[in-house]
Chain A
Amino acid sequence: MEKKKAKLSLEKKHNLTGWAFLLPASILIFVFCFYPMSQAILLSFRKTGGVFNGAANYARILKDKTFQQCLFNTFFYFVIQVPIMLVLALMLAQLLNNPKIKGKGIFRTLIFLPCATSLVSYSMIFKSLFAPDGVVNRVLMAIGLSSVDWFQSTWPARWVIVIALIWRWTGYNMVFYLAGLQNIDYSVYEASYIDGATPFQQFMKITIPLLKPTILMTAIMSTSGTLQLFDESMNLTAGGPGKSTMTLAHYIYNISFVETPKFNYAAALSVCILVMVAVLSAIQMKVGDKRD
């Protein structure tokens, strides 16, 4: 009897300790994120001046052609860029996890560099690389293709953004995979090699399953990051030509701070993004987050 009680209280104690551990972080998020978030949601149901407006701001979204354009652009980046980037990052991480490769530190640092590079220089460099007489066009012409007016035409400009995103964030995601791979004993790979597994098989059968929690995490991160993409649209293409590369977050910024301010409508658009990211993340978690 005595013993049982002690055990129960121990479990309870552990449970309480668990809550105590996550309390500081949770309080911070509630105060500095959920409270302002609730303000934003309230804002989205009012009009300028604070009068309750029902769902009028949300109804407006349906009629907003610019929103539709930006939504399309954002989803294009998401669908193309996230898978390519994550697979590339995984491949590089696997290569760099091989103990036989020399100079890994340098390779890792160089591949990580793009995301450490400040936005100003990164956008300047990309703009000069893809300029009409820039390096990219010169290479294209050298191999017999015709040059492309990258920033002046709709689809090439969108591809520049995709390329820039992959370039900038692959190394970043690689870092998490590298860290995750340390928890996998390399002898697993050696054993599978002796069994005759090809690198591709190793990748599919060992790397991906064992890194699943990390992959899930980076996928959710990239989803959320891409749907809120702002920097590239703002600094690289300024949304142009026209609005053909503008992202949702860029549009929200514009209607808040550049054009006639419509903070209530901007809040409604933000809530829209929140819902989309939440749905996509929920799907990813359903697929990937099983405790086995």
Chain B
Amino acid sequence: MTKFKQIISYTILVIASFLSAFPLYYMLCGATNQSIDVVRGRLIPGTYLIENFKTLVDMQNLGLAMFNSFRNAIVITVVTLLICSIAGYGFEIYHDKGKDILMSILLLAMMLPFVAIMIPLFKMFTSWKLVNTWIALALPSISTPFMIMLFRQAARSFPHDIIEAARLEGLSEIQIFFRMFIPVMKSTYGAAMTVTFMNAWNNYLWPTIILQDSKAITMPMLVANLKSGYSVDYGMLMLGVLICTLPTAIIFLCLQKSFANGITGAVK
């Protein structure tokens, strides 16, 4: 029975993984083939990787885009996690009527399409002379109701006994957050980090508006450039796309243990 169940589990997982991983394979084939073969639908890895890479580096400032993207994504991720987790913790642990109402109000922030607030936002940053700075890029995306809510929901399973015990030991409230909450909530932080990094990495619309200088190019902009000409080099495009996808995938691979194998049993 257990054997049978296991076989079913594996079958489902293998099918799901196959469907999910197919695009990666497709990108890999594309990145290693000549443009014309990609167009003709060749689905076998080729030998054209080096040439594609050379054209890509010739045509685009790959190093700069990588550097910018990493810097933006890392800064945004670190600050977001800090600010949103502390807020989520505050909302749940010290919850009262007022804070619950504030939370509901904050939720409204993610319900208006970004296109609608883009122009007022842009106006604001031009008046502060902050256009073309990564500060202007980061500020609107740091605090999201979603992340606050993620940590608020997670804090719900954080036992109050721990807090009381820590208070008796003389820890301050902020110390409890840093020394007790963060280590215990490793799994939530892992998930939040992956998702924030991914969103920051893939963000496109706002960066193209606020970063008008080509020195601020990010990876998604670089990939978009690869597809904007009258004739597209598909091999190079696929290589660019592959390079753009890998960081998030690798970060996920590294972090997934922390949020999925973490702390079973530590909190009940």
A positions within 8 Å CB-CB of B: 14-15, 17-22, 24-26, 28-29, 32-37, 39-40, 91-92, 95-98, 100-101, 104-122, 125, 128, 167, 171-172, 175-176, 178-180, 182-183, 185-186, 199, 213-214, 216-217, 220-221, 224, 228, 230, 248-249, 252-253, 256, 263, 266-267, 270-271, 273-274, 277-278, 281, 285, 291
| Pairwise interchain contact B260-A214, C-beta atoms closer than 8 A | no
| Pairwise interchain contact A217-B87, C-beta atoms closer than 8 A | no
Task: Tell me which residues across on chain A come within 8 A of B264, comparing CB atoms.
Answer: 182, 185-186
Task: Tell me which residues across on chain B come within 8 A of A178, comparing CB atoms.
Answer: 187, 191, 259-260
Does B244 reach chain A (CB closer than 8 Å)? yes
Task: Tell me which residues across on chain A come within 8 A of B177, comparing CB atoms.
Answer: 21
Task: Tell me which residues across on chain B come within 8 A of A117, comparing CB atoms.
Answer: 23-24, 27, 241, 245
| Pairwise interchain contact A110-B17, C-beta atoms closer than 8 A | yes
Name the residue in B86, B115, B244 with the highest tally of chain A Cβ atoms < 10 Å from its Cβ.
B115
For residue B138, give the distance in angstroms from its CB to the closest CB of chain A: 10
The 7 residue pairs across chains A and B that have the minimum distance between CB atoms = A18-B94, A21-B90, A270-B116, A28-B143, A25-B87, A36-B120, A39-B120
Considering only CB atoms, which chain A residue lies closest to B9 in the complex?
A: A95
One of B102, B117, B123, B226 near A33 (C-beta < 8 A): B117
For residue B265, give the distance in angstroms from its CB to the closest CB of chain A: 6
Selected interface stretch from B48-56, B70-78, B147-155: B147-155
Hey, what's the 0/1 contact readout for B215-248 against A, CB within 8 Å counting as 1?
Answer: 0000010011011000000000110011011001
| Pairwise interchain contact A121-B27, C-beta atoms closer than 8 A | yes
Considering only CB atoms, which chain A residue lies closest to B226 in the complex?
A: A120
One of A14, A186, A252, A281 near B107 (C-beta < 8 A): A281
Task: Tell me which residues across on chain A come within 8 A of B237, comparing CB atoms.
Answer: 120
Considering only CB atoms, which chain B residue lies closest to A32 in the complex?
A: B140
One of B84, B117, B198, B260 near A104 (C-beta < 8 A): B260
Task: Tell me which residues across on chain A come within 8 A of B180, comparing CB atoms.
Answer: none
Chain B at the A interface: SS class: helix
Q: Given A175-B191, A179-B190, A217-B149, verify A22-B17 contact (CB < 8 Å).
A: no
Chain A at the B interface: SS class: helix
Considering only CB atoms, which chain B residue lies closest to A103 in the complex?
A: B13
Q: How far is the CA of A228 from the CA of B90 in the complex (A)?
A: 29
Does B129 reach chain A (CB closer than 8 Å)? no
Does B168 reach chain A (CB closer than 8 Å)? no
One of B83, B111, B148 near A224 (C-beta < 8 A): B111
Task: Tell me which residues across on chain B come within 8 A of A34, comparing CB atoms.
Answer: 108-109
B positions within 8 Å CB-CB of A: 5-6, 9-10, 12-13, 16-17, 19-24, 26-27, 30, 41, 83-84, 86-87, 89-91, 93-96, 99, 102, 104, 106-121, 123-124, 139-140, 142-146, 148-150, 153-154, 156-157, 173-174, 177, 187-188, 190-191, 194-195, 198, 202, 204, 220, 223-224, 226-227, 237-238, 241-242, 244-245, 248-249, 252-253, 256-257, 259-265, 267-268
| Pairwise interchain contact A274-B111, C-beta atoms closer than 8 A | yes
Mind listing 24 A-B residue pairs with CB under 8 Å? Answer: A18-B93, A21-B86, A22-B86, A22-B102, A25-B83, A35-B124, A37-B109, A95-B9, A96-B13, A96-B260, A107-B13, A109-B249, A110-B16, A112-B252, A117-B23, A117-B245, A125-B23, A179-B154, A180-B153, A182-B261, A213-B156, A217-B149, A263-B119, A270-B115
Task: Given contacts A26-B106, A112-B194, A176-B150, list 9 more A-B pairs with CB under 8 A.
Answer: A21-B94, A37-B108, A95-B13, A107-B16, A117-B27, A121-B241, A125-B22, A182-B263, A266-B116
Name the residue in B104, B112, B121, B150 with the highest tally of chain A Cβ atoms < 10 Å from its Cβ.
B112
Q: Given A25-B84, A25-B87, A101-B10, verify A14-B173 contact (CB < 8 Å).
A: yes
Q: How far is the CA of A96 from the CA of B248 in the complex (A)?
A: 20
| Pairwise interchain contact B121-A32, C-beta atoms closer than 8 A | yes
Task: Tell me which residues across on chain A come within 8 A of B145, comparing CB atoms.
Answer: 29
Considering only CB atoms, which chain A residue lies closest to B148 in the complex?
A: A25
Q: How far is the CA of A175 from the CA of B191 in the complex (A)?
A: 6
Q: Given A37-B109, A120-B237, verify A100-B20 contact (CB < 8 Å).
A: no
Q: How far is the CA of A39 from the CA of B87 in the complex (A)?
A: 26
One of A26, A97, A176 near B102 (C-beta < 8 A): A26
Q: How far is the CA of A266 from the CA of B188 in the complex (A)?
A: 37
| Pairwise interchain contact B259-A182, C-beta atoms closer than 8 A | yes
Q: Given A36-B117, A266-B116, verify A175-B109 contact (CB < 8 Å).
A: no
Q: Given A18-B90, A216-B153, verify A40-B241 contact (CB < 8 Å).
A: no
Q: How far is the CA of A176 from the CA of B187 in the complex (A)?
A: 9
Q: How far is the CA of A228 from the CA of B117 in the complex (A)?
A: 13
| Pairwise interchain contact B23-A113, C-beta atoms closer than 8 A | yes
Task: Tell me which residues across on chain B come within 8 A of A271, comparing CB atoms.
Answer: 112, 116
Q: Given A40-B120, A105-B253, A175-B191, verify A278-B111 contact (CB < 8 Å).
A: yes
One of A37, A100, A105, A220 near B256 (C-beta < 8 A): A105
Task: Tell me which residues across on chain A come within 8 A of B256, comparing CB atoms.
Answer: 105, 108-109, 112
Task: Tell me which residues across on chain B come within 8 A of A96, comparing CB atoms.
Answer: 13, 260
